[in-house]
A and B are shown apart, each in its own frame.
Chain A
């Protein structure tokens, strides 16, 4: 058992214990290391000004670099990782080609968002190099979706992104001699870590049984995975993270496993990984994840986290409900399997979860049924939905043989609509049917008015998304 973490920062070893381990990564960089290039604007992972690049040691090697929001990540989560900040991208006084392109194309004005954009685009350069693609405008957009700029209107940044000189890019792993970093990190034992600060404690077990024992001994302990939600509520003063159980170091939870009947997604599998993993089995869900949050968030956030947040507008829950996903719960007594539709209880954020249990995985049963998933919000990307829609269906000769429907944002939790489902099954696909449903759904839902829209708007969205579902299936409108 260790009481400190070890990581590398721009090639330099850091060993952190005690209070400093509980800092957000951005505070540690800015106020402890004087690396003020990393900026904090929103402190909630929405603006990307705090973007940094991380490579983590998994199974004896340093994994590919990915971007995270350092304002909602904690230092304790960095054990055996290599962190590269904007300051670390210059090599021997020479700008990284991304930095050079941003200068050349006037991609920075006030400069406050610039380090975050530079990091996101350095990752684009890295991926372009390792996967062998040439960054076009679409790619640049996708890599910078999680970065806000208020000055440029993005046009000069897009120009910088497509014009960078890939031939001059040094791989991130070579900027600070990752082979040396790896050899030194390999000497750091992969063992559980317990760090105590003033009034704070975090436990990072390496095995599930240790995690379960800790959870059983302290039911009030906060579970953390990617901290994309916990980090926000803590930064905004709505929650004090005094005792945390982090699942970060448990390697088995990072796995996606397949059997002939299902895909099993571990609790620490990031949404970004999921987006790539599920393109074959669940292409519609994989596409939804593409417009779910930013790359930085998706690199940290998890499917289990989204489920356990249990928000009525969580983007993945409608899918999980119509997919009849199975929630795998572990406790010292063993494993319990509960269908997600039974796991989510009526009411706001209520779940069938015992105090000593952890959700260790979600299983998605393989199916030949098809899915349609929609989200409606005020901004297409990087916005929280007003209403979410998921349907699973099988049409044979124009007749519904299977139909499941779930909607989010129309009640205290994501709802399934058994009555409507029964009404549809066995009927042919007609607009009249869905016209009727779009009327009757009004009585089935109880949306509220809030910052993301009025109840009336949500009523209309629910009705219209049913019509869209029909119109797309019937080919009346193109997808």
Chain B
């Protein structure tokens, strides 16, 4: 039984030994060239000229390429609005203007500096407020999400609060920066190895860049050194840069961005500025919520429309909003195009309601966890603002259990006592929730295909469209396949993701990698098993296999394999008769009888279809739920914050691999904690990113993690909507990082003299100190 076990990550043994091969670890081959990107020195304006003469005269320079070298001028996941290289209009600082190709890695930077770029600068738009004033709308949500009569209920509500929730962007800080190598093959073909979450799009973007048919391009992804959404769309142009140079020079071409350059060029999590008005009763029950979500999309659309919509889908958080109106608009600014990042708008929506509830509790002088409890989806209150009704809802149970296991009530009393003394430190505690919708909201993306090849020795090679970025999708699929055939996991090898084996794949994103690709792999396994079961049955019934008689299993069918045939311990056994045959022997017999031992299968999530104009239909297959309780301590002299303890309880259905799911949970939480606390993007007036390396951009380090960190799962055996009853885990716990921020807010409430608390995200030491100092000095 390999599902439900803590099988080690399928790359663990090579990761720890330094033997795993990432893009830049591939050996340099004969004639290989190195590609660099020259970026714009201004954030907005016109490109006047590019003078490459001096660069081209450098002995190591093999070429300088501009927009005119590209067949298609623009790319983009949703609309083709982003130039590969600046054509005329410059829209953000460090936007790629031209490429240089060098024979040597170490002359790249020198040659880049020799390219002279002349520009005419015009004034840019750099904030949501400015963009709104100028009407720079990138995308407006088709229809608001509306339930009930918001305005009337708001008017009649006993209490009302109005405000703006502001959260900043976030750098992905995947450790492996964007990278690709393109190899020119015969007949004009290109093989590109990319650090990408979306090889199919990379394949298409490369083909369009070069003006060649899609079948001329193969994109291979062995693994990424982290993705987090940053390589969903934005890896593709990088791969196209390498491919263009490879095609022009007919030499392999490698592009590896430095961390500084990657951080300056690529888009980040969207900053949001959400306006709201809420009405509530004296208990803190939300009666009406009106919200306008506003995001900074940057210069081009990228995935901003879907991200805005996911923010709207998650404005409710884990709470029932009987009367609600949610609108959304994404503005165009002259920032790098903001893009997918773990949670995909969900955190920005969810954090808004959590902030509101914290304020409501502060206003009513009530325990915020109790205010949250009475607002949770429960009983008959299960309808979301977009009409979908929750199934198998465990939120009330999770709430009750985590309050108990975290000793929330006792600790709250301890904190109140602690804070009543002046000792230079103030503490806060907060519970927040996640209820994350699982499915791409674009229905067509909810499909996957898998290729399973059973070898004659009983081992298997499995290829899917899922890309491995550390999240363990390969391991989970390995478990699913090993379980299906009753073999040890080591008998299953996950192969590199390649567009020649799996076509038209969806990005590995939306937490759906294992759901979709695991389900497709299981379907492929079942097809093979159905053939083998028929064969085994015949064998047990005495069918004679000889050169004159051949067994024919007939056409394939996708029904679940006959459960009375058990694949276990590399044997196939008829549990009714007890007859059994070694799997390997059965495979040999199948091969002798010309029965195919490989299978390809396609999976699509059933029952999905959401009409965003009419706001009807089913947006999500199911929800992953969980809660966290965080306790923080603030230094009242410096604003420095420490996380003392965190408890997390997640509903992950029946976990395929609790070890991996635990790692996803702790990793997502800490990343979310970073977003709301120390990760602060700072730009200068010209919009140069100043925090372009870890010296200035502070992701959490090991000392920042909670001194006590408890992660537990609650079993939800009723989840039948996903492969083996499991639930997706990649993004949902990210939203729980919010609890650190609301705990800071709670701590600040002890020093607010009853006034409102003004807190933006990220709550850096500076933000905290300034808020502490606002009502009165320390």
Contacts and interface: CB of A to CB of B under 8 A. Distances in A.
B701 A109 contact: no
16 contacts: A34-B27, A36-B18, A46-B693, A108-B15, A111-B14, A111-B20, A111-B225, A114-B16, A145-B701, A151-B667, A153-B671, A158-B705, A378-B678, A380-B642, A453-B766, A456-B770
Chain B interface size, as a band, is: 35 or more
Contacts of A37: 17-19
Contacts of B667: 109, 150-153
Interface string A289-307: 0000000000000000000
B663 interface: yes
Interface in B716-771: 764-766, 769-770
Contact of B773 (A39, A452, A460): A460
B78 interface: no
A262 interface: no
Contacts of B382: none
Given A376-B640, A384-B695, 7 more contacts: A109-B667, A110-B223, A110-B470, A150-B228, A453-B766, A464-B637, A467-B778
A236 B227 CA distance: 24
Among B19, B666, B701, the one with the most A-chain Cβ atoms within 10 Å of its Cβ is: B701
A147 interface: yes
Interface in B682-710: 682, 690-691, 693-696, 698-705, 709
B299 interface: no
Interface in A115-143: 115, 118, 140-141
Contacts of A457: 766, 769-770
Contacts of B11: 108, 111
A112 B766 contact: no
B770 A383 contact: no
Given A153-B667, A471-B424, A378 B680 contact: yes
A223 B15 CA distance: 38
A156 B663 contact: yes
B105 to A, nearest CB: 7
Nearest to A144: B702
Interface string A86-106: 110110000100111011111
Q: Pick the 4 closest A-B CB pairs, nearest first.
A: A37-B18, A110-B470, A112-B225, A111-B15
A460 B771 CA distance: 12
Nearest to A99: B16
B121 interface: no
Given A154-B666, A156-B663, A106 B705 contact: no
A147 B699 CA distance: 11
Nearest to A89: B17
A109 B471 contact: yes
B438 interface: no
A309 interface: no
A113 B699 CA distance: 14
A432 interface: no
B9 A106 contact: yes
A150 B174 contact: yes
B88 to A, nearest CB: 29
B130 interface: no
B613 interface: no
A368 B224 CA distance: 56
A95 B703 contact: no
A58 interface: no
B671 A150 contact: yes
A114 B778 contact: no
A155 B660 contact: no
B698 A378 contact: yes
A152 B691 contact: no
A451 interface: yes
B669 interface: yes
A379 B678 contact: yes
A103 B696 contact: no
Contacts of B259: 41-43
Nearest to B421: A477
Contact of A106 (B12, B21, B176, B695): B12
Interface residues of A, number: 85
A130 B529 CA distance: 55
B177 interface: yes
A284 B652 CA distance: 48
Given A148-B175, A456-B770, A95 B16 contact: yes
Given A104-B8, A106-B659, A108-B15, A382 B228 contact: no
B6 interface: yes
Contacts of A109: 9, 470-472, 663, 667
Among B225, B258, B682, B702, the one with the most A-chain Cβ atoms within 10 Å of its Cβ is: B702
Contacts of B701: 145, 147-148, 154, 379, 381-382
Interface string B1-34: 0000010110111111111111011011000000
Nearest to B737: A153
A157 B105 CA distance: 34
B84 interface: no
B16 A102 contact: yes
A104 B176 CA distance: 24
Contacts of B765: 376-378, 386
A155 B19 contact: no
B698 A379 contact: yes
A37 B22 CA distance: 10
A47 B260 CA distance: 13
Given A150-B671, A152-B666, A380-B642, A451 B702 contact: no
B27 A113 contact: no
B18 A461 contact: no
A378 B642 CA distance: 11
B21 A110 contact: no
Contacts of A148: 173, 175, 694, 699, 701
Contacts of B226: 110, 112, 150-151
Contact of B668 (A153, A154, A382): A153
A83 B289 CA distance: 62
B678 A465 contact: no
Interface string A58-92: 00000000000000000000000000011101100
A287 to B, nearest CB: 15
B19 to A, nearest CB: 7
B16 A31 contact: no
Nearest to B6: A106
A360 interface: no
Nearest to B256: A40
Interface in A458-479: 460-461, 464-465, 467-468, 471, 476-478
A468 B9 contact: no
B8 A379 contact: no
A151 B663 contact: yes
Given A141-B703, A451-B682, A106 B637 contact: no
A107 to B, nearest CB: 8
B670 interface: yes
A98 B669 CA distance: 25
A318 B15 CA distance: 43
Interface string B504-548: 000000000000000000000000000000000000000000000
B422 interface: yes
A453 B764 CA distance: 10
A357 interface: no
A294 B609 CA distance: 51
Contacts of B705: 153-155, 158
B333 to A, nearest CB: 20
A454 interface: yes
Contact of B424 (A95, A157, A384, A477): A477
A103 B12 contact: yes
Nearest to B22: A112
B13 A43 contact: no
Contacts of A308: none
A381 B666 CA distance: 20
Contact of B694 (A44, A237, A377): A44
B662 interface: yes
Nearest to B659: A106
A193 interface: no
